[in-house]
Amino acid sequence: MLGAPALLLTSAASLAHPEPPTCQIEIVVLGAGQDAGAPQIGNYDDPGTELTPSSIGVVDRINGERYLFDATPQITAQLDALDRIEGQEGLALDGLFLTHAHIGHYLGLAFLGREAAGADGVRVFAMPRMAEFLRQNGPWEQLVRLGNIELHAMIAGEPTVLSDHLAVVPILVPHRDEYSETVGFILTTPETRALYVPDLDSWDEFEEISGTSLEQLIARVDYALIDATFWDDGELGNRDMSEIPHPRVAQVTERLAPLPANERAKVRFIHYNHTNPIREPMSEESRAVTDAGFGVARAGNRYCLAGEL
């Protein structure tokens, strides 16, 4: 395994003025907020740091390909940010992986349709229930019928091999599954593995279902981008947060505190709500995360998966 993940870019502004390519296959964080981003609807005067919904891009310079993980409502700006890194124009999207059917993770598919990109056969990798939901419900079924997207069903635990250098393994995670399963992904190259789990209800429940603990999962990868929706209980005022069972960042950092420094350094918290104080890079809570040896994913961060240049 590699050492601690290198933090190559640190802010959304970096997406507009990206550094040159640094490796042959890399992850680019295109957004790190919860589904609705920030400012949220009805609260446009929010003075806090702007957030785009969580999404990552993977650039494979060995094969001249790039992939998007989650299709957010901000897909246009996020793909433009990826264009700026590669100096590309047009859609230039070789595949799109979906975690589940909640608004911040698949609504961006609509922009592949005839009203926008008019895409031709973009490969969309989805779990069986997710794929069937897209086939059977408008407006998504029109994307399938008109050939804007080409659905590819994945199997939990089975790798989707994209090239000799890159594969993606979906792992089932517990979450509100009204319309589809929910998965995270392990991205694998011959050199490095990265975990992307933006949404789940509970790491304890995940362990009950999978037989694998969060600590064991982190040990298997070099980078771990994991759910950070809320900092702690009480964050939503009078709302009953037991009805929104995401892992709390404060509790996860406490749980993982006994890990060696090199294991803690793999963790990057992502998918944080507009109410989560780690939204602000200089907040006391953000400093507490970094002081404890973890990290907070920010739009613009880049992580090398293979072949540093």
pLDDT at site 85: 85
69 strand-pairing partners: 56, 97
Whether the per-residue pLDDT at 225 is higher than 50: the answer is yes
- pTM, full prediction: 0.92
pLDDT at site 16: 54
239 SS3 class: coil
Whether the per-residue pLDDT at 1 is higher than 50: the answer is no
pLDDT tens-place string over residues 145-189: 999 999 999 999 999 999 999 999 999 999 988 999 999 999 999
Q: 53 with 35: CB under 8 angstroms?
A: yes
When pLDDT is cut at 50, 70 and 90, the band that residue 9 belongs to is very low
303 strand-pairing partners: 27
Whether the per-residue pLDDT at 209 is higher than 70: the answer is yes
Pinpoint the alpha helices (H) of 57-213: 75-86, 103-106, 128-136, 140-145, 203-210
Residues 6+ apart with CB under 8 A from 126: 97, 98, 134, 151, 152, 153, 154, 180
To the nearest 5 percent, what fractions of the chain are helix, strand and coil?
25, 25, 50
pLDDT at site 5: 36
Element (H, E) at 188: strand 183-188
pLDDT tens-place string over residues 90-109: 788 999 999 999 999 999 99
CA distance 125 to 152: 5
Domains defined along the chain, listed by start: 13-40+47-308 (3.60.15.10)
Whether the per-residue pLDDT at 232 is higher than 90: the answer is no
What would the mean pLDDT of 30-56 be, rounded to a whole number?
Answer: 94
Whether the per-residue pLDDT at 302 is higher than 70: the answer is yes
CA 304, chain centre distance (Å)? 16
Residues 6+ apart with CB under 8 A from 138: none
- Supply the DSSP symbol for 190: S
CA 230, chain centre distance (Å)? 16
- Please state the φ and ψ torsions of residue 209, each to the nearest 5 degrees: -75, -45
**Of the listed ranges 5-9, 167-171, 194-198, 247-251, the one predicted with least confidence:** 5-9
What would the mean pLDDT of 40-61 be, rounded to a whole number?
Answer: 94
pLDDT at site 4: 34
CA distance 21 to 153: 32
Element (H, E) at 218: helix 214-219
| Parallel, antiparallel or unpaired: strands 302-308 and 295-296 | unpaired
When pLDDT is cut at 50, 70 and 90, the band that residue 6 belongs to is very low
- Mean of the per-residue pLDDT values for the chain? 91
CA distance 156 to 15: 32
What would the mean pLDDT of 109-122 be, rounded to a whole number?
Answer: 96
When pLDDT is cut at 50, 70 and 90, the band that residue 305 belongs to is very high
When pLDDT is cut at 50, 70 and 90, the band that residue 214 belongs to is very high
pLDDT at site 140: 96
Whether the per-residue pLDDT at 243 is higher than 90: the answer is no
When pLDDT is cut at 50, 70 and 90, the band that residue 86 belongs to is confident
